[in-house]
């Protein structure tokens, strides 16, 4: 099975890191193909917790290549911070490869992201404010700075100047606002705000700093598409690891409350540089319930106490931002949409253990529009989705602690029925079930 894609099947944070870590056992390379340091994976191995934002989860396997593909946007400062952290933890990073074609998140992208969200106020998208959207925008505008540019000071300087030029107005406004705020707070006296440029935008300092980043990253910079082909062509497995999830896809998710890249399986080809025929298998990862971070429609959201219990028991706080996630019942209308969009072959259902003792478990099987129409499929029209109400099937649930289950036979009947219902409804076998955060806390099901 040389090309395997792993994608989030809901709104992200499904536990893709752990499943990737498991499925990567026999792979030659683990490749991230989109997103930036807005992702966050937590892997617990033998009780030790590792958190990653940019580096693919596969880094814990020293015998595998760990690739940041061309489709990822990379904040070099963050990447180097993660590299340093892993080194301190004694994890070898000699197998890390960074695409020379990946685009960089520059300091001005972060500033623009923060300013954009602040300006939108209560209509903000809920981005992580780390510059990811503006970096992808520059890529599309042909104003991006790529990893390879770090290795040539002259080119880097020219490109930074060209990228900054059209942003001058917005950045100047930002700088003035920032200084006004500081003055009002009594932190600054003297010069008129307009006269002093933001030190973070000084071209000379930016170039110098980034040339330095280039020196440090150089041993990892590579033609990563070729590395992927080399593995595939010799019948070894590449795992393409998606960040975020299907319902946050820029084209197919709940726009504009989406991420600024394409986290669906089809995007693995573009973001890693392989062909559709290289993909042999697609895994979708879904939680046994649903969560969503930030704003945007979430039909099965729970506002009552049971939602609170799920958040507490599932530790539903973001790896990257620490933000509390919104929680709700499993939404099979949305999941079936994600299954088709990614043409999934298999599902992994994580965090089933969190639902034990919750009582009756509800799963959404259709929506009803505000005019009363029955909606069996995920509505493409935003206004319909915003006002749709879910209709549920109630399943009995289970009380036993699942943490020690390792075989299908260990799972209580209520848990098996729940998984069977999900699988039947969306038409894809559930092959893996998570019953706790540790990588051993996993049950393989016979498909």
Catalytic residues: 13, 41
What is d(CA 74, CA 333) in angstroms, rounded to the nearest whole number?
34
Q: Which of 95, 124, 148, 319 binds ligand GDP (CB under 6 A)?
A: 319
Which CB, 241 or 345, lies closer to ligand GDP?
241
How is residue 75 written in tokens?
Answer: 């904040």
- Beta-carbon contacts of 159 under 8 Å, excluding residues fewer than 6 positions away, are 143, 145, 149
Examine residue 336 and tell whether it contacts ligand GDP (CB under 6 A).
no
Residue ranges of alpha helices (H) inside 218-285 are 224-233, 267-272
Binding of residue 82 to ligand GDP (CB under 6 A):
no
Grouping H, G, I as helix, E, B as strand and the rest as coil, residue 212 is: helix
Site string for ligand GDP, 34-63 (x = CB under 6 A): -----xxxx-x-------------------
Angle, CA 225 vertex, CA 53 and CA 71 arms, to 5°: 40
400 near ligand GDP, rule: CB under 6 A:
no
User: CB neighbours (10 Å) of residue 293?
Assistant: 23
CB of 290 to ligand GDP, least distance (A): 13
Stretch that binds ligand GDP, among 7-15, 91-99, 183-191, 417-425 (CB under 6 A): 7-15
CB of residue 151 to ligand GDP, shortest distance in Å: 31
Q: Kindly state the smallest distance separating residue 144's Cβ from ligand GDP, in Å.
A: 25
What is the DSSP track for 322-373? -PBPEEE-EEHHHHHHHHHHHT-SEEEEE-GGGGTTS-SEEEEEEEE-TTS-
Site for ligand GDP in 340-399 (CB under 6 A): 350-351, 353-354
Of residues 198-227, those binding ligand GDP (CB under 6 A):
none
Which residues are CB-contacts of 283 (< 8 A; sequence separation ≥ 6)? Answer: 4, 5, 6, 7, 19, 23, 344, 345, 346, 347, 348
CB closer to ligand GDP, 348 vs 428: 348
Is 175 or 441 the residue whose CB approaches ligand GDP more closely? 441
Question: How far is C-alpha 363 from the chain's CA centre?
Answer: 24
User: Does 149 engage in binding with ligand GDP (CB under 6 A)?
Assistant: no
Establish if 325 lies at the interface with ligand GDP (CB under 6 A). Answer: no
Least distance between ligand GDP and beta carbon 353 (Å):
5
Binding site for ligand GDP (CB under 6 A): 8, 13-18, 39-42, 44, 319, 350-351, 353-354, 434-437
């Amino acid at each position: 099975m040389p090309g395997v894609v792993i994608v989030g099947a809901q709104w992200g944070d499904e536990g893709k890191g752990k499943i990737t870590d498991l499925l990567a056992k026999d792979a030659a390379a683990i490749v991230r193909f989109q997103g930036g340091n807005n992702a966050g994976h937590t892997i617990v191995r033998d009780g030790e917790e590792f958190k990653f934002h940019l580096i693919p989860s596969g880094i814990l396997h020293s015998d595998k290549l760990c690739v940041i593909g061309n489709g990822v946007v990379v904040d070099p400062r963050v990447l180097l911070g993660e590299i340093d952290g892993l080194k301190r933890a004694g994890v070898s990073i000699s197998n890390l490869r960074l695409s020379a074609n990946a685009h960089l998140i520059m300091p001005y992208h972060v500033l623009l992201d923060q300013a954009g969200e602040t300006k939108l106020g209560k209509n903000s998208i809920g981005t992580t404010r780390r510059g990811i959207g503006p970096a992808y925008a520059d890529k599309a505008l042909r104003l991006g700075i790529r990893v390879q540019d770090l290795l040539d000071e002259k080119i880097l300087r020219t490109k930074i100047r060209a990228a900054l030029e059209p942003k001058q107005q917005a950045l100047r406004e930002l700088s003035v606002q920032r200084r006004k705020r500081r003055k009002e707070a009594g932190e600054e006296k003297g010069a008129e705000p307009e006269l002093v440029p933001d030190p973070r935008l000084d071209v000379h300092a930016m170039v110098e700093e980034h040339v330095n980043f280039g020196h440090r990253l150089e041993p990892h910079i590579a033609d990563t598409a070729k590395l992927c082909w080399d593995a595939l062509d010799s019948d070894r497995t590449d795992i393409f690891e998606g960040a975020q999830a299907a319902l946050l896809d820029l084209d197919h998710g709940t726009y504009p409350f989406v991420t600024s890249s394409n986290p669906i399986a089809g995007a693995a080809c573009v973001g890693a540089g392989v062909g559709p025929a290289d993909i042999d298998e697609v895994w979708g990862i879904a939680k046994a319930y649903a969560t969503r971070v930030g704003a945007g429609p979430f039909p099965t959201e729970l506002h009552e106490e049971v939602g609170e219990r799920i958040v507490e028991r599932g530790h539903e706080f973001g790896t990257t931002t620490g933000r509390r996630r919104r929680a709700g019942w499993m939404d099979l209308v949305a999941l079936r949409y994600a299954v088709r969009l990614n043409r999934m072959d298999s599902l992994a259902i994580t965090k089933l253990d969190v639902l034990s003792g919750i009582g009756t478990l509800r799963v959404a099987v259709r929506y009803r529009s505000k005019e009363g129409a029955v909606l069996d499929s995920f509505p493409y029209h935003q206004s319909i989705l915003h006002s749709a109400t879910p209709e549920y099937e109630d399943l009995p649930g289970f009380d036993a602690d699942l943490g020690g289950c390792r075989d299908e036979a260990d799972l209580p009947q209520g848990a098996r029925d729940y998984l069977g219902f999900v699988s039947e409804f969306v038409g894809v076998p559930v092959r893996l079930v998570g019953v706790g955060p540790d990588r051993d806390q996993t049950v393989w099901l016979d498909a």
